[in-house]
Structure 1
Amino acid sequence: MTERVTQPTLDVLEALLVAHDFELHGWAIIKSTKRAGPTVYKILERLTKGGMLTERWEELGPEDNRPRRRFYRLTPTGIAYGRQLLAERRPEARQRWRPLLGGEAHA
């Protein structure tokens, strides 16, 4: 992805890196970033199309009485991209990233 990277994009990438190895649904990302829904969803769509995220719709049972949520997770490419961007533009954010499974720390 060679486009201009905005502060909201960095916020979304940071939220996903902090949640490493967990999926987040859109509302959780909106709350975490304190950004407007349309802004966050536009970023999620762009990152998904760019191969940085995977997405899936949750499956609800017949007793569930709420809308389905879409969950997002960084791909390996997205993890590397997010780490690189945040290391360059928000070096202080590194301390918030969780260690990878197996004890490897985020770079």
Structure 2
Amino acid sequence: MSGPRMTMQTQALLRMALSEPSREWYGLQMCEATGLPSGTIYPIIARLERAGWLESRWERPEEHAAEGRPRRRYYRLTGQGAERARLALASAYRSRSTARLPFGAGPTPGDLT
């Protein structure tokens, strides 16, 4: 199964989530932590949730009512999502590193066998 697209924005969100893998984040916190706008964050969250990398829950009504604010939806990495995120970020890092090598400095076909 292939995972979600590893755009730079997706990578930023995954790095943020992996900084505290068991923490629950709500959307505005994710925006603030990554510096990305909500119009970028929420589509990424939706893709990661569909892929099974994130799970979500709505806070209980008494939590937000007591504070007089709208209800929050909290997201966190699943166990499998955290592992896949680590692998995807490592792969993306390797791809960027290889792309910066001078022409001919990468592995030769014999290195790959």
Match of 2:78 among 71, 75, 80: 75
The unaligned stretches of length 5 or more in structure 1 are 92-107
Give the aligned residue type for 2:83.
A
Aligned to 2:15: 14
- Larger proportion of helix: 2
**Are the equivalent residues in 1 in contact too, given 2:13–2:30 (CA < 8 A)?**
yes
Alignment of 1:6-85 (within 5 A): 6-61=7-62, 62-85=65-88
Q: Percent identity?
A: 34
SS in 1 for 2:74: strand
- Separation of aligned partners in 1, 2:58 and 2:42: 14
Give me the whole-angstrom Cα distance separating, in 2, the residues matched to 1:39 and 1:21.
Answer: 23
Instruction: State the Cα distance separating 1:35 from its structure 2 match.
Output: 0.6
Aligned length: 91
Q: Residue type of the partner of 1:7?
A: M
Structure 2: tracts of 5 or more residues without a match:
95-113
- Judged with a 3 Å threshold, the aligned counterparts in structure 2 of structure 1 residues 8 and 27 are, in CA distance, closer, same or farther, namely same
Give distance in 1, aligned partners of 2:26 and 2:74. Answer: 4
Runs (4+) off by over 4 Å: none
Asked if 1 retains the 8 angstrom alpha-carbon contact of 2:4 and 2:48, the reply is: no
RMSD of Structure 2 on Structure 1 (CA): 1.6
Output aligned runs, 1:80-95, within 5 Å.
80-90=83-93
Q: For the pair shown, which has the larger CA radius of gyration, 1 or 2? A: 2
